[in-house]
A and B are shown apart, each in its own frame.
Chain A
Amino acid sequence: MINNKYIRYVMDFINTNTPVEFIYDEIHYNEILQRINKEIPSIKYKDLICACYSLFYTSLTYHGKACENFNHQPYYILIGDYIGSYIVEILYKHKLYYLLKVFASESKLIMLNLLNNNAKDSLLNNIIFALKE
């Protein structure tokens, strides 16, 4: 049972509008939740931040699946795009502009690294750093 309302929204959208299953990235969700609980437990919007972080990797997973599953390839591509834009949208709606900047610049670097066959990823550390500031 997914308890996070932001992730549930995406899950419901995918289940209602597409033939593919929702992929819940529990590992990334728990990874950021543990860091937040340990380092900045009183932070506001904990649910939203954990959802954005976890959904970012869900989006990449869908794009990865687009290369393996040709039957539903368009859906995998479009769902990946949809989730990426959903992250931006909810950060904007909640006026979390500083986090939007972190997500935008870090995801850009992650994409550049992927294009260079490099797995370096500093998103989590930079989110935590931004939240502490």
Chain B
Amino acid sequence: MDLAKICNVDKNLLDNKIKELLENDQSFPTHLKDQLYKLIFSSGKRIRPIFTVLGSYFGDNNKEEVYKLAAIFELIHTASLIHDDIIDKADTRRGNQTIHTQNGVYNALILGNYLVALTSEYISNYDFENLYYNSFKVTDLCESEINQQSLLFNFNITFREYITKTKNKTALLIAASMLGGAKLSGVSKRTLKILYNYSINLGISFQIFDDILDFTQDKEILGKPNGADLMNGNITLPVIFSLTDKKIASKIRLLNENSSFEEFNNCINCILKSSAIEKSKKISKKYINKAMKAIVKLNHPKKQMLIDIIKELEKRTF
């Protein structure tokens, strides 16, 4: 899946903009910069910056400015990854040692804070006060993450709670990235609303599919064991559907943070054999359909790009 190609995103320019943002502070310790470069440039899907560039196509975009904003969104995402890796106790990401395993928890936290401050500094220079907080509040994301902690190994989580969590965790930042590029390019309010509905639904679908892949994808590609979300106590849609199957629900409900690898594996195999994966795919498809419906009334030459992304995601899913 190459969304950058579909959206004609100039990856070199994007990477250069990310580097420019990180090169401005002379006192930034070299070893941390090297590690950060590895984390950002070793791989990564660049979903958020791609959506910033995509949003800009619906107005009169200034390429340099749009790519700078796109780079800012990638750095916001990077900051959240650094903190998430500590919370998830992850030793590796994208084939590299995580920042906290190399520098300790405190320095990793401060590095994440530095990136947030750096991006806030740039965003505060933009002359559109409503960009950031009308479409997206970082506090929503943080609140959602805090609430998620209380839902770990909570097998009573409802479908609605899962969707809200998914929206706050992933879809809102994707929508904010798209609206950021669109607003910067002077897109009309009506089109902004359409793009919001499109990206928020696509974001939800995207996260649901990532949650499915956590069970189904080859662990070598995933870079972590299958079912890692469940092992961390994170109850995702395939688990929620599995809990409706009486035969395996009782086994799953016994899992907790002290369960053995074999106990987790046993449940993961049961989930894979159940209808939960197919049901989850249907829900993912439902949100793709909602994204498609959102753009029905959009009349713009670049609309086809939005459709092509949906088709590409559908290929990935079904």
Contact = CB atoms under 8 A, between A and B. Distances in A.
Given A78-B87, A78-B146, A104-B121, A63 B113 contact: yes
B30 to A, nearest CB: 11
Given A66-B109, A84-B116, A111-B111, 8 more contacts: A18-B149, A64-B106, A77-B86, A77-B109, A78-B142, A80-B113, A104-B123, A105-B117
Interface string A30-48: 0000000000000000000
A73 B149 contact: no
A78 B149 contact: yes
Nearest to B119: A104
Contacts of A108: 25, 114, 117-118, 120-121
B-side binding surface: helix, strand, loop or mixed? Answer: helix
B123 to A, nearest CB: 8
Given A66-B86, A89-B133, A115 B143 contact: no
What size tier do the contact residues of chain A reach? 35 or more
Interface stretch (A21-29, A94-102, A124-132): A94-102
Contacts of A93: 133
What size tier do the contact residues of chain B reach? 35 or more
Interface of B: 25, 27-29, 32, 83, 86-87, 104-107, 109-114, 116-118, 120-121, 123-125, 129, 132-133, 137-139, 141-143, 145-147, 149-150
A75 B139 CA distance: 14
B146 A18 contact: yes
A113 to B, nearest CB: 8
A12 interface: no
A95 B134 CA distance: 13
Contact of A112 (B25, B133, B142, B143): B25
Contacts of A95: 129
A128 to B, nearest CB: 19
A55 B120 CA distance: 17
